[in-house]
Amino acid sequence: MRISLRGLAKRLRKLRARLRNRIALRLGVATVAVASVFSPTPATADDAVSFFRAAQVNDAGRIKPLLARGLDPNVRDPERGETGMIVALRNDAMDVFALLLAQPKIDLEAQAGNGNTALMMAAFKNNMPAVKALLAKGAQVNRPGWTALHYAAAAGALDIMRLLLDRHAYIDAESPTKVTPLMLAAREGQEDAVKLLLKEGADASLRDAGFRSDAAEFAERADKPWIAKAIRQHQAEQVMSR
């Protein structure tokens, strides 16, 4: 049987098409197989446990693959309700802090069970680099209830207090029980913090809701009579200057 050149060319084109289809199919199966080997496994409850252990010891390298598997960077520790960022700041784990801060889905205002935020913890730990980094990222200086200024005042973190006040921190911010930064500084014996707050215009006459005490009485109840004396002297000088 004779086959014309045109017919032969047609058969060759069909054979090539079949061969291309078979190769493409095999390559597709191989690609799926490779992807199934190297695709990340979804995050698990055990990953969250590993996450917080790594955050405590500043092991950012151990946290990176957990985040890559889809672990929420705002996951909370079931014991205190703290986020990984708060835990990292509590433990001075700055590598972990930097890693979490860079996550697109990080929630800077996420609160622990007691209301703490990352900025509050950074202020309490007198961690200026962390405070600056959080502020640059948009962390809130003022919020209802406890604020970063409360925590900075309690720790006597003067430079952080000045920075927060420069960022318009409300100097007489009230906790849920109406405790002000001045009252905390007085109770903790942070004399320089007390002087700074008074100099910047803190109201020493305010009273909390629990004991109905002013800042001087807070100092006295905490056995800090020299702080109480400094506050009352400031109040007397204010009266004299009017």
Rounded to an integer, what distance in angstroms lies between the CA atom of residue 139 and that of residue 29?
A: 48
Report the C-alpha dihedral over residues 18, 21, 22, 23, rounded to 10 degrees: 120
Taking alpha carbons only, the member of 119, 116, 133, 203 closest to residue 161 is 119
Amino acid 11: pLDDT: 66
In the block, tokens 């889905």 appear at 105
Amino acid 45: pLDDT: 83
Amino acid 23: pLDDT: 52
**The CATH number of the domain covering residues in 40-114:** 1.25.40.20
Rounded to an integer, what distance in angstroms lies between the CA atom of residue 146 and that of residue 154?
A: 12
Amino acid 15: pLDDT: 61
Amino acid 242: pLDDT: 84
CA atoms within 13 A on the CB side of 216: 13
Residue spans in the chain of domains classed CATH 1.25.40.20: 40-114, 141-242
Phi, psi (degrees; rounded to nearest 5) at 235: -65, -40
Amino acid 120: pLDDT: 98
Angstrom CA distances, 33 to 20, 22, 27, 37, 84, stand at 20, 17, 10, 6, 35
Collapsing DSSP to helix, strand or coil, 83 comes out as strand
**Which residue stretches of the chain have pLDDT < 70?**
1-42
Longest CA span, the chain: 125
Q: What would the pLDDT profile of 108-127 be if each residue is shown by its tens digit? A: 999 999 999 999 999 999 99
Q: What would the pLDDT profile of 223-237 be if each residue is shown by its tens digit? A: 999 999 999 999 999
Amino acid 4: pLDDT: 61
In the block, tokens 């080997």 appear at 37
Amino acid 163: pLDDT: 98
Structure tokens, 9:
């060319």
DSSP letter string, 183-231: HHHHHTT-HHHHHHHHHTT--TT---SSS---HHHHHHHTT-HHHHHHH
**The CATH number of the domain covering residues in 141-242:** 1.25.40.20
| Long-range contacts of 102-106, Cβ-Cβ distance < 8 Å, separation of 24 or more | 103/67, 103/73, 105/72, 105/73, 105/74, 106/73, 106/74
pTM: 0.82
- Is there a contact between 96 and 118 (Cβ–Cβ < 8 Å)? no
Number of H helices, E strands in the chain: 13, 0
